[in-house]
């Protein structure tokens, strides 16, 4: 009787727990092997992305000081030619993450959208190279909402996305001031 | 508040789980033959989605992320969902037999429904907070229900169709119908931005 | 059944996607290009072979009562390993497939084969079964990806084929309706060519699904109630 209780109830639990433990161990092992590679991939990818917005940069070092509101990270080019700031602002399907390149003189050198969940074919219209190029050379955007800015056009029907990009650029430029220029 | 409304609208209409993100296709095609079973399945999925999100979000944020064990996400989430489904089934059976009678039959199917695992993982990768995650799950469930009900209605009409080419009978014509329905849902793109834009 | 038959049945006669109609979600979602489709197919195949081998090895140890949770843990483990390896060595593919990598766990093909085949057969047979089913799945996804890529973005394996012509690719093939449409055409084509040879699938099948028993029973019970 005792034996059958064991077989019926305890044994299955032991097997399941063992399988879970072995799986966890195997995963932890794989993770330890793969993780350095994953981190390196992400770093390389991030450096390449930063060079897209700041072509004069080569390698980048993270800025350790205070980050202004909405800014996720800020990297300063090792050759002091400028900085690449990633900032986010609420878009239509979630936060829109934008990377902005700013040269040593405080002018925008390039803008890319690094992460978003906007509607393909509509919100993504506010992410084309052509659309984003209108930010090039600006050194300030007159705050608030994209509708109030005469210099920057919003995409019709994708105002929320356009505004998310706009406000992210504004946040990035604030970060430039926060850092006190490229130092 | 607006952000919650935007999340809900987009997940119900523009980014409908079934018709634009291809999550939960199996039950969408398999259980949509009759209207009442389609409704039952939709409600059960919504229920489990919300419960699963309520359970997995804190686990991810307070346990896995904190102790740097993000790689266990898939294993943990699927186990949590499987046990939740079991628990719900047992609870309903014991305490709410009428509800069990109408929804219970769909519960075992839900463990392997990728929409449930999908919504829990999506809430984490999209960086929603707890409230947003819960509403996103409600929206995803409603979107699933909506797609199921619409499709069940279409399929009941399809039953009476004559003259479908031989090799298209059955599954292929059902898929073509799904294609047309998802094309109709593409019409919603922009509607939400129009409201909140 | 000979070893060769075990392997080849998954490729055409019991093709998991086009004949058994399993794993429809990744089939529709990841086939926006041939490379993505093949990548998804190969990832799934890796998980399928590994989980089939392990489950076949453990078939005497795993008690019937907790077999489904055990299978799920084993499968989820292999899925995560594949996910980590993709992230480390093929980051581009990983970001293209995104959410659908972890969702391999709930692909009915894998649980279905674990329940229907690996838990009853020898290790070698299970591995061959996984290989055959995996090849069938990969082929179906590759073909579908190729078709959608060709019409939808005018490329084949990322090489432009419309260059120099005035044809604009029909972008809708890359979107959801195009996915359903191409899948419908492929299933219809398989129906047409195998008219007399194989059992025609009239309905979406639970046959290979691990929930087949409980689900079928549930549906019957529901109908009996009415």
CB proximity A38 to C under 8 Å? yes
Residue A105 φ then ψ, to 5°:
-85, 5
Can you tell me which residue has the tokens 């039953």?
B159
Q: Residue C113: its pLDDT value, please?
A: 87
CA dist A60 → A48, A70, A76, B93 (Å): 10, 21, 5, 60
Regions of chain A with pLDDT less than 70? 1-3, 119-122, 143, 183
The contacts of residue A43 (CB under 8 Å, 6+ apart) are none
Q: B-chain residues within 8 Å CB-CB of A30?
A: 71
Q: B-chain residues within 8 Å CB-CB of A161?
A: 193
Tens digit of pLDDT at every position of chain B (197 positions): 777 888 888 888 888 888 888 888 888 887 888 888 888 888 888 999 999 999 999 999 999 888 888 888 889 999 999 888 888 888 888 888 887 877 777 777 787 788 899 999 999 988 888 998 999 999 999 999 999 999 999 988 888 888 888 888 888 898 999 999 999 988 887 777 667 65
Q: Report which of C129, C132, C135, C133 is spatially closest to residue C56, judged by C-alpha positions.
A: C129
CB proximity B167 to C under 8 Å? yes
Q: Is C154 left (phi over 0), alpha (psi -120 to 50) or beta?
A: left
Three-state SS annotation for C156-192? ECCEECCCCCCCCCCHHHHCHHHHHHHHHHHHHHHHH
Residues 68-97 of C with CB under 8 A from B: 68-69, 72-73, 76-77, 79-80, 83-84
Regions of chain C with pLDDT less than 70? 1, 195-226
Å from A61 to nearest chain B CA? 24
Residues 64-83 of A with CB under 8 A from B: none
Torsion of CA C150, C155, C161, C167, to 10 degrees: 70
Q: Is A83 left (phi over 0), alpha (psi -120 to 50) or beta?
A: beta
- Furthest CA-CA distance within chain B: 61
Tell me the C-alpha distance between C216 and C124, whole Å. Answer: 31
Tell me the C-alpha distance between B41 and C138, whole Å. Answer: 30
């Amino acid at each position: 009787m005792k034996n059958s209780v064991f077989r019926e109830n305890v044994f299955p639990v032991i097997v399941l727990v063992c399988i879970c433990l072995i799986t966890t161990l195997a995963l932890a092992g794989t993770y330890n092997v793969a993780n350095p590679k994953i981190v390196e991939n992400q770093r390389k990818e991030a450096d390449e992305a930063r060079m897209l917005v700041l072509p004069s940069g080569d390698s980048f070092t993270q800025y350790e000081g205070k980050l202004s509101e909405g800014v996720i990270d800020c990297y300063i080019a090792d050759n002091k030619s400028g900085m690449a700031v990633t900032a986010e602002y609420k878009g239509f399907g979630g936060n829109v993450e934008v990377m902005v390149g700013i040269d040593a003189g405080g002018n925008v050198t390039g803008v890319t959208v690094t992460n978003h969940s906007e509607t393909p074919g509509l919100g993504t219209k506010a992410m084309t190279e052509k659309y984003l190029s209108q930010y090039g050379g600006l050194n300030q955007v007159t705050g608030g909402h994209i509708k109030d800015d005469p210099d920057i056009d919003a995409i019709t029907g994708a105002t929320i996305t356009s505004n998310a990009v706009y406000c992210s650029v504004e946040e990035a430029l604030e970060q430039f001031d926060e850092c006190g220029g490229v130092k | 508040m607006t952000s919650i409304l935007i999340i809900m609208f987009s997940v119900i209409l523009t980014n409908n789980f079934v018709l634009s993100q291809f999550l939960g296709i199996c039950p969408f095609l398999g259980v949509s033959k009759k209207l009442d079973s389609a409704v039952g399945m939709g409600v059960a999925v919504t229920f489990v989605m919300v419960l699963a999100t309520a359970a997995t979000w804190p686990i991810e944020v307070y346990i896995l992320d904190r102790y740097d064990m993000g790689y266990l996400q898939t294993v943990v989430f699927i186990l949590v969902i499987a046990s939740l489904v079991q628990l719900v089934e047992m609870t309903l059976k014991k305490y709410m037999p009428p509800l069990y009678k109408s929804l219970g039959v769909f519960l075992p199917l839900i463990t392997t429904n990728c929409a449930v695992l999908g919504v829990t993982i999506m809430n984490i990768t999209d960086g929603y907070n707890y409230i947003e995650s819960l509403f996103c799950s409600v929206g995803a469930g409603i979107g699933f229900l909506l797609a199921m009900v619409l499709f069940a209605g279409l399929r009941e009409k399809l039953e009476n169709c004559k003259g479908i080419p031989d090799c298209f009978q059955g599954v292929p014509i059902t898929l073509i119908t799904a294609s047309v329905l998802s094309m109709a849902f593409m019409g919603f793109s922009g509607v939400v931005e129009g409201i909140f834009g | 059944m000979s070893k060769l038959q075990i392997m080849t049945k998954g490729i055409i006669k019991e093709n998991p996607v086009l004949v058994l109609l399993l794993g429809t979600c990744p089939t529709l979602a990841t086939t926006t290009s041939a490379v993505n489709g093949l990548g998804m197919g190969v990832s799934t195949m890796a998980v399928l072979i590994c989980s089939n081998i392990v489950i076949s090895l453990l078939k005497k140890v795993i008690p019937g009562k907790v077999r489904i949770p055990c299978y799920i843990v084993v499968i989820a483990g292999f899925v995560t390993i594949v996910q980590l390896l993709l992230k480390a060595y093929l980051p581009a593919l990983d970001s293209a497939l995104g959410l659908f990598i972890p969702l391999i766990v709930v692909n009915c093909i894998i649980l279905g084969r674990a329940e229907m085949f690996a838990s009853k057969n020898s290790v070698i047979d299970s591995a061959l079964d996984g290989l055959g089913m995996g090849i069938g799945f990969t082929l179906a996804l590759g073909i579908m990806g190729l078709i959608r890529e060709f019409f939808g973005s005018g490329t084949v394996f990322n090489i432009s084929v419309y260059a120099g012509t005035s044809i604009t690719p029909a972008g809708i093939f890359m979107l959801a309706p195009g996915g359903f449409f191409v899948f419908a055409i492929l299933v219809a084509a398989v129906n047409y060519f195998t008219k007399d040879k194989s059992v025609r699938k009239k309905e979406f099948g639970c046959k290979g699904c691990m929930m087949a028993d409980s689900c079928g029973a549930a549906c019957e019970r529901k109908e009996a109630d009415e």
